[in-house]
Structure formats: structure tokens, C-alpha cells
Amino acid sequence: MTYVTDPIGDLLTRMRNAQRVRHTECRVPWSRIKEQLCMVLKAEGWIENAEVGGEGIQKYVDITFAQDKPALELKRISKPGRRVYQSVKDIRPILNGFGSAIITTSAGLMTDVQAREKKMGGEVLCTIA
């Protein structure tokens, strides 16, 4: 049995790998943060759908990729060995507003645009382009 030391990095890698081999969906083990991250991606239109299935220890998240969009360019920023925090004044647009960053704040996960609107900083989990 293998243990994952970086569940967010594992989620992003599974999504990247599935898109590289042209899969339309992928399945990842469930955790609350993964579910919230997928819901933010869905709300922003980066993925088509994210559904939670299974029960107990067998819970999973099924992610369906948007067919009209190119493959996501996902990059992990804050890692277990080096956490990256930014205040609201340090949060900059990704690719001049065409990409986004996912930030975990005291009010939950949100994009960089939402964090600037609410004037909140936090840990930068990843960037999407």
C-alpha cells in the first residue's frame, strides 16, 4: 500500500496525465479539499463536472473534462516542503487574467480574482492556464 504525502499534487498529476492520453474523465480518491478544489474548477469553467461517489473509505471524485477547452496546464505552487503564502497586495493575475490561481483562505478555497475582491490573502495551492 502506498501513501500519498501530497494529495493536491496527486490530484493535479492525475488530471494532467488523464488529459495527456486524451481521456475525457478521471477518478481520484476523495478528500474534502480535493472536492472543494474540483468545485472551484467547475464553477470557473475549467472542468465540465465533478461528482462524488462511493461510501466511507471507498469514496472518490469523478472529474469530467470540458471538451471545448484545451488540456489544462496545472502547476502546483505551495508544496508540503515549501508553503507559499501571499497577502492580497501580492496576488497578481495569472497570464494577464486568462489563467487563475486557487488560494485557500480563512473563508475557504477561491480563485485569485475572488480573493482580491474580498481582500483576502492565503496559501496559493496551484495555478491553472
Give domain status of residue 2, yes or no: no
- Residue numbers of the domain that contains 115: 74-128
Q: How far apart are CA 67 and CA 2, in angstroms?
A: 32
- The CATH number that applies at residue 96 is 3.30.1490.10
Please check whether residue 105 is in contact with residue 121, taking contact to mean a CB–CB distance below 8 angstroms: yes
Residue 16 and residue 61 in one domain: yes
Residue 40 CB burial class (10 angstroms; 0-12, 13-18, ≥19): buried
At 1 the pLDDT is 60
pTM recorded for the entire structure: 0.92
Q: Which of 126, 87, 83, 82 is nearest to 103 (CA)?
A: 126
Q: What spatial distance separates the first Cα and last Cα of the chain, rounded to whole Å?
A: 33
Extract the C-alpha cell encoding 105: 483562505
Q: How far apart are CA 60 and CA 63, in angstroms?
A: 10
**pLDDT tens digits, one per residue of 60-106:** 999 999 988 889 999 999 999 999 999 999 999 999 989 999 999 99
